[in-house]
Amino acid sequence: MAMIPESVVAEIIQRNNIVEVINSFVPLKKAGNGSWKACCPFHQEKTPSFHVSETKQLYYCFGCQKGGDAVKFMRDYLNLDYVEALQQLAQRAGVVIPQNVTPEEEAAYRKRRSEAGRMYDLHEALASFYRQELLQNPNSPVAQYFATRQIPGEYAEKFRIGAAPDSWDASITFLKSRGFTEQEIIAAGVAIEKSPGGRCYDRFRNRLVFAITDENNRVIGFSARIIVKDDTAPKYVNSPETAIFHKGSILYGLAQARDSIRRNKFAIVCEGQLDTIALHRAGLDMAVAPQGLAFRSEQAELIKRYTDKLYLCFDSDSAGQQGTLRVLEFLLPMNFEIYALQIAGGKDPDEIMRTQSADVLHDALKNAIPLTRIILNGLQRSYNLATPNGKVAAAEEAVKLLGAVPNPMLREAYFEEIASALRLPINRLFEFHRKQKRFADNTFSGNQGKSDAADNAPAKYNDMRSENIRHAEASLLLLALNSADGPRQIAECLDEKLLSDSPTALILKELMNMALNGEWFSGSELLSHLPEKLAGDPEVVKMLIRDVELTAEQCRQILEDCPRELQKDYCKRKSQELLYELRETNDIVRQAAILEELKNLRKQ
């Protein structure tokens, strides 16, 4: 593939208005301020459902769900690869692409490589600085909080745990003393520039800091935990996306776990840094955790290099069960052998290691449940498996999930297990699967010559949200996209745990995290800053292309009503989960704790 300098790529995109590009192939008609429409060039239709936003420099078809920016249109319409599409757009705009990379461009490329090397050095130096801050200040608030976590010194060293001082510029001052410039410090994401050319300050302050490393154990970012309860501050502050830190492709603890994974031929996937460290302390040093808001396909591909067998160790509450089902959507098409740990009392590994013993975790591994049980456990939170309707609905959801298993014999074996567990005729499950498969085949049958695109299309989100939650999350996203102040206002009044893992909620979470880092993007610019899986989802383009202006009163109403609706739904789901657990447990102490939790939920 020919190398096109980044500066030239930026110029090509900047000089190609998407409306003019698409209109040269497909006649567009004005449909409002900054909006155009046409009959879709990607499928047969009589009524126009293909929309182009000049303001956001995006297109989207509400019929076949294709969408993207100008480069994506050229790739799809002319069946080009990325470089070919850029070459066509460059020719159209009169931008000259160097046929051979000049010495200056080669030097610029080497400079970028050198800058990446400097960024690794910067992160390594800062990780050592944070480590020393924790060790040399045992009476500091961070050190005192760390002591409550009961993590032995050797594991704090192994995972590079440190302390960010309660200072606005301690990290900046240290890094400058090591020869790093302010521009390098800001580019590395460890400092925030208040305004262009203005004062900058430390991103991580008075927090317990976990160094994030890549699979080669190079420090590439940080995750900093709050040490006091504060509802107005985020529990964790994480490094932003940088030249070396891409959270969607990182597994926390992989560098420390990969030898054990290879040796034991399986990995444990858990939630967060503290659970990962707890499992390693328990002798289960093949544990890793996804970095970021949710498990992504890039992370599944990364762990696939080391093993085909996974044990999932997620929370046993309703959100954890639903999260497990979402993870399966990424894992099942990759032929993983999958089990799940169930820890008594719904506790997480970190709590187990602080209050009980490693034996509890080893027993949970020994008694791990198989894939079909994982699915049924997750679905019984949403469906009443004691009723015929509930059984059928759960079976259909299970078939949709298991339909992604590539091996036909294995897939049929799973179907038989589901049918047996639900006491349903196996032939009905096969029949439903065949219908689903025919529907999927028919969906793509009109895209002749586009089979690769169909094969790589993201899996459709299996939406189990109620209508009021869909509406609340969509309204909050509209507010977040409406102005730079929207995500910050939402972050101040909404706990992320109340959000689902729908594409709508994932974009909202990304915008909220950007707001905490002082960033905000919209349209095609936002698309370029989203994780690859989200950016490639046509449903995401559909959301971003919407052009809705909100009044001040509407903004106020959204901020007032939607978080309350999400809180109400969360309390309802949490209550159902606790009532289910109350029926299942014989532990008197746990029963009392559940009743107290239910009492507190009713007060909210």
| Predicted pLDDT at 185 | 95
Listed in sequence order, the residues at least 6 apart from 530 whose beta carbon sits closer than 8 Å to its beta carbon are: 507, 510, 540
Is residue 218 exposed (0-12), middle (13-18) or buried (19+ Cβ within 10 Å)? middle
**CA dist., res. 184 & res. 178, Å (int):** 12
How many alpha carbons fall within 13 Å on the CB side of residue 238? Answer: 22
Kindly state the tokens that stand for 343.
């820890």
Cβ atoms of residues 210 and 154 within 8 Å: no
| Predicted pLDDT at 311 | 96
| Predicted pLDDT at 101 | 60
| Predicted pLDDT at 256 | 94
Cβ atoms of residues 547 and 66 within 8 Å: no
Is residue 305 exposed (0-12), middle (13-18) or buried (19+ Cβ within 10 Å)? exposed
Listed in sequence order, the residues at least 6 apart from 541 whose beta carbon sits closer than 8 Å to its beta carbon are: 58, 59, 60, 67, 68, 527
Q: What is the DSSP letter of 206?
A: S
**CA dist., res. 348 & res. 126, Å (int):** 30
CA dihedral 95, 99, 101, 103 (to 10 degrees): -90
**CA dist., res. 293 & res. 516, Å (int):** 15
| Predicted pLDDT at 586 | 79
**CA dist., res. 301 & res. 306, Å (int):** 10
Residue count of the chain, please give it: 604
H or E stretch covering 31: strand 29-32
**CA dist., res. 379 & res. 381, Å (int):** 5
| Predicted pLDDT at 150 | 92
Question: What backbone torsions phi and psi does residue 290 show, to the nearest 5 degrees?
Answer: -65, 135
Kindly state the tokens that stand for 339.
């089990």
- According to DSSP, the residues that pair with 60 across neighbouring strands are 51, 67
Listed in sequence order, the residues at least 6 apart from 309 whose beta carbon sits closer than 8 Å to its beta carbon are: 265, 266, 267, 336, 337, 338, 339
| Predicted pLDDT at 3 | 66
| Predicted pLDDT at 441 | 53
Kindly state the tokens that stand for 293.
């808001």
| SS3 state of residue 159 | coil
Cβ atoms < 10 Å from Cβ of 584: 9
| Predicted pLDDT at 174 | 96
Cβ atoms of residues 118 and 184 within 8 Å: yes
List the one residue out of 72, 68, 74, 76 whose CA is nearest residue 544.
68
| SS3 state of residue 152 | coil
Cβ atoms of residues 310 and 269 within 8 Å: yes
**CA dist., res. 281 & res. 283, Å (int):** 5
- How far CA 27 is from CA of 21, 67, 68, in Å, comes to 11, 17, 18
Say which residue the tokens 């190609």 belong to: 16
List the one residue out of 549, 426, 545, 576 whose CA is nearest residue 55.
545
**CA dist., res. 486 & res. 484, Å (int):** 6
- How far CA 65 is from CA of 262, 294, 458, in Å, comes to 41, 24, 11
Cβ atoms of residues 405 and 414 within 8 Å: yes
Q: What is the DSSP letter of 285?
A: T
Helix intervals (H) in 425-484: 426-444, 451-455, 467-482
Q: What is the DSSP letter of 308?
A: S
Say which residue the tokens 């940080």 belong to: 222
Angle at alpha carbon of residue 343, lines to 342 and 346, rounded to 5°? 105
| Predicted pLDDT at 446 | 41
**CA dist., res. 345 & res. 590, Å (int):** 7
H or E stretch covering 38: strand 35-38
Kindly state the tokens that stand for 206.
């008075």
H or E stretch covering 172: helix 170-177
**CA dist., res. 445 & res. 441, Å (int):** 6
Q: Which residues of the chain have pLDDT under 50?
A: 1, 443-458
Per residue in 503-513, pLDDT (tens digit) is 888 888 888 87
- Start-to-end CA distance of the chain, whole Å, equals 58
**CA dist., res. 576 & res. 570, Å (int):** 10
Torsion sign across C-alpha atoms 28, 30, 35, 38: negative
| Predicted pLDDT at 379 | 87
Q: What is the DSSP letter of 459?
A: P
Say which residue the tokens 């044990």 belong to: 311
| Predicted pLDDT at 581 | 74
Find the helix packing angle between 254-264 and 297-304, rounded to 10°. Answer: 50
Kindly state the tokens that stand for 282.
């328990």
Cβ atoms < 10 Å from Cβ of 453: 15
